[in-house]
């Protein structure tokens, strides 16, 4: 009969499916064909799934015909192997053992993935041409990803979890459901930056993407929310100087070159710096951090330091694998979307927009202007576009618009803003009503 081993568990699952195809659905919630150690068992599970999806029963004889039709029957050991899978297995044994056998297959598969990852890292570590930091980052990312891949598919557990979360949200003390952006109109429309969501902020070069990000970071640090910024465009010092200007209310030109600052302004800057020193803020200024290393660091810092918001400035300059920029940006978008979902934190990803045609320089941007790839548009839970028209001398004006171009869970709309070019911050324009459109 069935022996207590990992391979025997695989065969017991497949034998149970031949007895009753409903066991396939129970298994498919937790495992896939690749989770089986034997290639023959992978083929059988895959073909059984194809048959059941068509409304057919995957019992021994029909399953043999399906495998034969694909030229795979001999590669699994023929009809005799299918017979062996269910040999001696009774209905009662299948009913009592199926859950345990599925768990055993899933656990063994995860163990093999850990072993494979460690073997790959060991091979890389022996290669003197490999960068040690890149190896560590890859290893951390792989281990954390394996650790986070747990089965949350039980409907009862999922429903209870959702209800618990809703109860916590119902009794919360804060008005805002998510994290603040620093702009109340935007927060009211989106309920703030939500856990597990990716927020794409798009703007043309020079409009104020980084300024918006820093403003959101300041709002969160003041609220006690830990922020991790990956600043590929600016150095850590440049980011801090912008923060000092905003917090101190001192013109950025005098923070950039303090020679022209008054003693009173320098005192305000020093006081702002003392405040920022105690903020839950980390800035990674690596100018060329590969997306895999970026994600590995974020996965490490989120649980260890309690990071609640990750900001990345910006998508088009994050190094990633791909033969062209379109594929590289798509890889960045997919990786950060997975990070947000796996770790349960919002990710604010900045993105360049394509330049408008010179004949229509002040055209309001749209989602299709996100540079290089439609993946950004597809992945975004919320897509916000910043717009500032140019004057006759082709200089950006202080008038601005914030366009909520996409929101999966709510409305879209346009908010008038004013860009304070002294402190490099966005302010809500007074006595101006927003224009809102219902979400499709």
Q: Give the residue among 341, 435, 322, 337 at the shortest CA–CA distance from 377.
A: 337
pLDDT at 153: 47
Confidence of residue 410 (pLDDT cuts 50, 70, 90): confident
Highest mean pLDDT pick, 115-119, 139-143, 194-198: 194-198
Q: Which residues of 121-147 are buried (b: 16+ CB within 10 A; e: fewer)?
A: beebeeeeeeeeeebebbbbbbbbbee
Q: Please state which CATH class domain 6-128 belongs to.
A: mainly alpha
Domain ranges of the chain: 6-128, 178-437
pLDDT tens sequence across 193-214: 999 999 999 998 889 999 999 9
pLDDT at residue number 180 = 93
> Where would I find the beta strands (DSSP E) of 262-379?
281-284, 309-313, 347-352
**Interval 299-311 mean pLDDT:** 91
Is the pLDDT score of 150 beyond 80? no
- pLDDT, position 5: 65
Name the phi and psi angles at 347, rounded to 5: -120, 125
What does the mean pLDDT of the chain come to? 86
* Calpha distance 276→297 (Å, rounded): 23
Worst-scoring range by mean pLDDT, 60-64, 145-149, 302-306?
145-149
pLDDT tier for residue 438 given thresholds of 50, 70 and 90: very low
Confidence of residue 433 (pLDDT cuts 50, 70, 90): low
Would you say residue 439 has pLDDT above 50?
no
What does the radius of gyration of the chain's CA atoms come to, in whole angstroms?
Answer: 27
CA distance 78 to 63: 11
Phi/psi for 350 (5° steps) reads: -85, 150
- Are 212 and 196 in contact by the 8 Å Cβ rule? The answer is no
Contact of 351 with 340, CB cutoff 8 Å: no
- Please give the DSSP secondary-structure letter assigned to residue 370: B
The number of residues making up the chain comes to 440
Q: What's the CATH code, domain 178-437?
A: 3.40.50.300
**Smallest Cα–Cα separation from 244: which of 285, 214, 209, 284?**
214
Top-confidence range, 147-156, 308-317, 424-433: 308-317
Cβ neighbours of residue 36 under 8 Å, at least 6 residues apart? Answer: 10, 42, 45, 105, 109
> Which tokens sit at 184?
């109340």
- The most confident of the ranges 18-32, 139-153, 252-266 is 252-266
pLDDT at 374 over 90: no
| Phi, psi dihedral angles at 228 (to 5 degrees) | -120, 120
Read off the tokens for 252. Answer: 């950025």
| pLDDT for res 252 | 93
Read off the pLDDT of each residue in 386-411 and give the average, rounded to a whole number: 89
Report the 10 Å Cβ neighbour count for 260: 10
Residue 416's pLDDT band (cuts 50, 70, 90):
very high
Q: Among 359, 418, 338, which Cα is nearest to 386's?
A: 418
Establish whether domains 6-128 and 178-437 are of one fold: no
- 9-51, pLDDT tens digit by residue? 988 999 999 988 888 888 887 888 888 989 899 999 988 988 8
What is the rounded average pLDDT of the residues 61-76?
90
pLDDT band at residue 239 under the 50/70/90 scheme: very high
pLDDT exceeds cutoff 90 at 52: no
Q: Residue 49 has what pLDDT?
A: 86
| Euclidean distance between CA atoms 240 and 255, whole angstroms | 10
Q: The whole model's pTM is what?
A: 0.67
Work out whether strand 425-428 and strand 309-313 pair parallel, antiparallel, or are unpaired: unpaired
Instruction: Report the pLDDT value the prediction gives residue 277, as an integer from 0 to 100.
Output: 92
């Amino acid at each position: 009969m069935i022996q207590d081993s990992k391979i025997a568990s695989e065969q017991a699952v497949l034998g149970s499916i031949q007895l009753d195809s409903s066991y396939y659905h129970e298994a498919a919630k937790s495992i896939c064909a690749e989770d089986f150690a034997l290639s023959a068992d992978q083929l059988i599970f895959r073909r059984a799934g194809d048959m059941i999806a068509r409304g057919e029963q995957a019992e021994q004889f029909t399953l043999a015909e399906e495998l034969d039709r694909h030229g795979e029957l001999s590669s699994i050991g023929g009809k005799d192997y299918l017979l062996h899978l269910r040999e001696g297995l009774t209905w009662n044994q299948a009913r009592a053992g199926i859950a345990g056998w599925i768990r055993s297959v899933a656990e063994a598969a995860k163990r093999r993935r850990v072993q494979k990852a460690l073997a790959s890292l060991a091979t890389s570590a022996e290669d003197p041409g490999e960068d040690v930091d890149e190896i560590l980052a890859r290893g951390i990312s792989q281990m954390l990803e394996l650790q986070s891949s747990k089965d949350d598919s039980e409907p009862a557990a999922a429903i209870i979890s959702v209800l618990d979360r809703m109860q916590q949200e119902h009794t919360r003390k804060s008005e805002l459901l998510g994290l603040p952006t620093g702009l109340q109109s935007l927060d009211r429309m989106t309920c703030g930056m939500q856990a597990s969501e990716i927020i794409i902020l798009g703007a043309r070069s020079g409009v104020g993407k980084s300024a918006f990000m820093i403003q959101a970071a300041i709002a969160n640090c003041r609220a006690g929310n830990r922020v991790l910024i990956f600043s590929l465009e600016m150095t850590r010092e440049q980011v801090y100087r912008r923060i000092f200007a905003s917090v101190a209310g001192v013109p950025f030109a005098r923070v950039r070159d303090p020679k022209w600052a008054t003693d009173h302004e320098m005192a305000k800057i020093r006081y702002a710096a003392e405040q920022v020193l105690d903020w839950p803020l980390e800035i990674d200024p690596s100018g060329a951090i590969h997306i895999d290393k970026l994600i590995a660091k974020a996965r490490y810092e989120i649980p260890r330091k309690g990071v609640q918001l990750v900001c990345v400035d910006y998508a088009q300059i994050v190094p990633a694998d791909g033969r062209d920029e379109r594929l590289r940006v798509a890889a960045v978008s997919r990786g950060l979307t997975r990070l947000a979902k796996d770790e349960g934190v919002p990710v604010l990803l900045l993105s360049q927009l394509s330049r408008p045609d010179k004949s229509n320089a002040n055209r309001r941007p749209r989602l299709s202007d996100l540079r290089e790839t439609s993946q950004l548009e597809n992945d975004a839970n919320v897509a916000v576009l910043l717009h500032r028209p140019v004057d006759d001398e082709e200089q950006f004006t202080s008038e601005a618009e914030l366009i909520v171009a996409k929101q999966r869970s709510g409305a879209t709309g346009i908010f008038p803003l004013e860009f304070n070019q002294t402190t490099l911050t966005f302010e809500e324009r007074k006595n101006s009503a927003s224009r809102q459109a219902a979400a499709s």
